[in-house]
Amino acid sequence: MTCTAHPRQPGRAERLLLAACEQTVERIARDLRRYPRPARHLFSQIRFLFPLQEQLQAYRIIEDHVQAALERLESEVGPDAGRATALRCASINRKGKPCGREPLRGSRFCPSHKHLEAVLPPAHRGLYVA
Ligand SMILES: [Zn+2]
């Protein structure tokens, strides 16, 4: 399986692929709670680099590697992965951006979004996996 070669820019596809993979892993490590389907997102970014008949294989490889990254992260930081973002409200504001307010003590939501705590089950504290 190889990336689609670009005749005028050799190595361009590989560089794009590498950059997309690195960004995905960085985002998983930095902000997993707001990145619910990393494998799907990465695939959508790089699928054009592969011929159609190889895209399913590419997706499966991405899925395996993203899963391995998630397991590695969980083993290193525990089930509270993404705790760097734990001091921000888990909600999304009207503009579609993450709410940046500090959550209430013992809650994932700020005072404005505390009503959402009752909507989401408390089991959603661990990793979101694609
Ligand atoms: Zn909020």
- Closest by CA to 58, choosing from 71, 39, 73, is 39
Going from the Cα of 74 to the center of ligand 1, the distance in angstroms, rounded, reads: 26
Neighbours of ion ligand 1 (CB under 5 A): 89, 91, 99, 101, 110, 112-113
Going from the Cα of 31 to the center of ligand 1, the distance in angstroms, rounded, reads: 16
Going from the Cα of 88 to the center of ligand 1, the distance in angstroms, rounded, reads: 8
Is the whole-model pTM more than 0.85? no
* Rounded average pLDDT over 4-28: 85
Q: What is the average pLDDT score of the chain? A: 80
pLDDT for residue 86: 52
- CA dist 107 and 84 (Å) reads 15
pLDDT single digits (tens) 57-69: 999 999 999 998 8
* Rounded average pLDDT over 98-109: 81
Going from the Cα of 90 to the center of ligand 1, the distance in angstroms, rounded, reads: 7
- CA dist 54 and 76 (Å) reads 33
Residue 98, both tokens? 């993450």
- CA dist 28 and 36 (Å) reads 9
Going from the Cα of 8 to the center of ligand 1, the distance in angstroms, rounded, reads: 48
Going from the Cα of 42 to the center of ligand 1, the distance in angstroms, rounded, reads: 27
Please give the residue that has the higher pLDDT: either 18 or 5: 18
User: Residue 39 CB: number of other CB atoms within 10 A?
Assistant: 22
- Domain residue ranges of the chain, discontinuous segments joined by +: 12-77, 88-130
